[in-house]
Amino acid sequence: MNEQRDNVWRGVAIITGASSGIGEAIVKKLASNAEGIVIAARRIDRLTLLAKSLGDNVIPVQCDVQNKAEVEHAVQTTLDRFGRVDTLINNAGIAPMSSMLRGRVEDWENTIDTNIKGVLYGIAAVLPHMLKQKTGRIINISSEAGRRVFPGSAVYCASKHAVRVISEGLQIDLSARSQKDGNDIKVSTILPGYVLTDLPESVTFEPARNEFKKNMQNVEGPLQGNDIADCIQFILNAPDHVEIGEMTVRPTKQVM
């Protein structure tokens, strides 16, 4: 048994999409042991309330992940306040699903700009610092939709496939580099099944939103945000030499 298993992560993290659902649950899980957490999302009022309830080490930053400069600002805030960035959790995401036949191009653009480009902007902003530090953790939230394609959600599924593939590609590039410079930067991807959150509210086409809600409610024992936060904690607490690449987690009774 590895004694480091009992280690508790006490670093500095940035968490995107922290104003609700999974992101909020992650913040609540990590805050008490973290040296510092910068929580980022568009709804600054919700972030401010959350930060106030948790303590001075939690810093709210308004940030639209579609905007590269705002993502860079969130990272700079972390460096200014805490002097380093140990962990990035790319969690912000939307799911404006509908049949492709409806041609909702604006939804497609928003999905790609948030779920793919937002993740890339986060990686681009933290990576130079992690490479300099020779250490870091990047955790990307993909989805079951990152492995499979469901009806009426082609672009969402494509975006989550992209997140999974980007994570894997980053991990490959980093491990090649770590052979040269000894860095221990690790990349992990979580692929959740149904988690009871506000995600259906991001569906702009009403019939699709109602169907998403119904499907979510029909799952017996859906996951809660806290279940994904537990996965994050497990990943962060792993010893330095252990990299958890992918973690699929779904409700036990979700019919696949």
Q: Is 189 in the site for ligand NDP (CB under 6 A)?
A: no
Burial class (CB within 10 angstroms; exposed 0-12, middle 13-18, buried 19+) of 136: buried
Q: Is 157 in the site for ligand NDP (CB under 6 A)?
A: no
- Phi and psi dihedrals of 12, rounded to 5? -115, 125
- Phi and psi dihedrals of 31, rounded to 5? -60, -40
Q: Is 65 in the site for ligand NDP (CB under 6 A)?
A: yes
Nearer to ligand NDP, 16 or 188 (CB): 16
Q: Is 251 in the site for ligand NDP (CB under 6 A)?
A: no
Q: Is 23 in the site for ligand NDP (CB under 6 A)?
A: yes
Region of 52-60, 120-128, 172-180, 192-200 interacting with ligand NDP (CB under 6 A): 192-200
Going through the chain in order, the beta strands assigned E by DSSP cover: 12-16, 36-41, 58-62, 87-90, 135-141, 184-192, 246-249
Q: Is 60 in the site for ligand NDP (CB under 6 A)?
A: no
Q: How many residues lie near ligand NDP (CB under 6 A)?
A: 30
156 is catalytic: yes
Catalytic residue among 82, 108, 121, 156, which?
Answer: 156
Region of 38-46, 73-81, 164-172, 229-237 interacting with ligand NDP (CB under 6 A): 38-46
Q: Is 114 in the site for ligand NDP (CB under 6 A)?
A: yes
Q: Is 192 in the site for ligand NDP (CB under 6 A)?
A: yes
Across 61-100, b (16+ Cβ under 10 Å) vs e yields bbbbbbebebbbbbbebbeeebebbbbbbbbbbbbbbbee
CA distances from 236 to 89, 117, 149, 186, 196 (A): 11, 24, 29, 10, 23
- Catalytic residue annotation: 156
Binding site for ligand NDP (CB under 6 A): 16-23, 41-43, 63-66, 91-95, 114, 141, 143, 192, 194-195, 197-199, 202
